[in-house]
Amino acid sequence: MNAKTEFEPKIIGFLCNWCSYAGADLAGVSRIQYPSNIRIIRVMCSGRIDPTFILEALKDGADGVLVAGCHLPSDCHYISGNFKTLRRVTLLKKVLQDFGIEPKRVRLEWISASEGDKFAAVVRDMVEEIKKLGPSPLKNMEVKA
């Protein structure tokens, strides 16, 4: 591999089925182009996203993690899953900071089914942002059980 190759961040995106995954679908249907760095994992609700999933993703080699759910306050298909996510991710980001991991690597966004353009813009922005940060410090870190 060419050593001068630009760093291409790997991003894991946890998307809720009803709003954000649908938003990503709309980006597709509308042919809105965005960088190919993201790998999407569909969950029914952002409230399913356990902070440990995010940590595991960072440990497994992700340079950034996107968590996307339905808009606050009331878009959530499951009434209040997005609020649970908000609390969990906010807390996790504080913890990350304490451990010396840039909190910007984890991003929480509310993306609706009609916001294909927003989804694409978020990915674009995140890729740029993480390129500036460089590879994740957790990547390839040996974790002893």
Partner 1 sequence: MASKKIGAVLVVGGGVAGIQASLDLADSGFKVYLIDQGPSIGGVMAQLDKTFPTNDCSMCILSPKLVATGRHPNITILTNTEITGLNGEAGNFEVKLRKKSRYIIEDKCNGCGLCAQKCPIEAVDTFNEGLDNRSAIYVEYPQAVPLKFMIDREKCIGCGTCQEICKANAIEYDQKDSEVALKVGSIILAPGFEPFDARLKSEYGYGRFPNVMTSIEFERILSASGPYGGLVLRLSDGEIPKKIAFIQCVGSRDFQLGNNYCSAACCMYGMKEAVIAKEHTPTKLDAKIFYMDMRSYGKEFDAYYERAQGEWGIQFVRSRVAGVTEDPKTNNLFVHYVEDETPKTEEFDMVVLSIGMQPPKNIETLAKNLGIKLNNYKFCETATFSPMETSKPGIFVCGAFSAPKDIPESVAQASGAAAKAMSVIASERGTQVTAKEYPPERDVSREEPRIGVFVCHCGINIGGVVKVPEVVEYAKTLPNVVYADANVYTCSQDTQKLIREKIQQHKLNRVVVASCTPRTHEPLFKETVQEAGLNPYLFEMTNIRDQCSWVHMHEPEKATEKAKDLVRSIVAKAKLLKPLKKPLINVTPVGLVIGGGVSGMTAALELAKQGFEVHLVEKEKELGGHLRTIRYLLEKDDDPKEELNALIKAVTENDKIHVYLGAEVVDVYGFVGNFKSKIRQQNGRETEIEHGIVIVATGAVEYKPTEYLYGKDPRIVTQHDLEEQIAEGAFKAKNVLMIQCVGARTNERPNCARICCGQAIKNALKIKEISPETEVYILYKDMRAYGFKEDYYREAATQGVMFVNYEDERKPQLANDNGGLKMTFWEPVIKEEIEIEPDLVVLSAATIPNPDNKRVAEMLKVPLTKDGFFLEAHMKLRPVDFATDGVFLCGMAHWPKYIDESIAQACAAAARATTILSKPTLEMEGIVANVNEDLCSGCRICEYLCPYNAIEMKEKDGKPIAHVIEALCKGCGACGTACPTKAIIMGHFTTEEILAQVKAALIEVKT
Q: Which residues in this chain contact partner 1 in the complex, by CB under 8 A?
A: 10, 12, 17-18, 21-22, 24-34, 36, 39-45, 47-50, 53, 56-57, 60-62, 74-81, 84, 88, 112-114, 120
Which CB sits closer to partner 1, 26 or 101? Answer: 26
| One-letter identity of residue 120 | A
Contact in structure between 62 and 11 (CB atoms under 8 Å): yes
* Rounded distance between C-alpha atoms, residue 50 and residue 43, angstroms: 11
Which CB sits closer to partner 1, 35 or 103? Answer: 35
Which CB sits closer to partner 1, 17 or 102? Answer: 17
Spatial CA neighbour of 86 closest among 100, 72, 103, 75: 72
Quote the least distance from Cβ 106 to partner 1, whole Å: 14
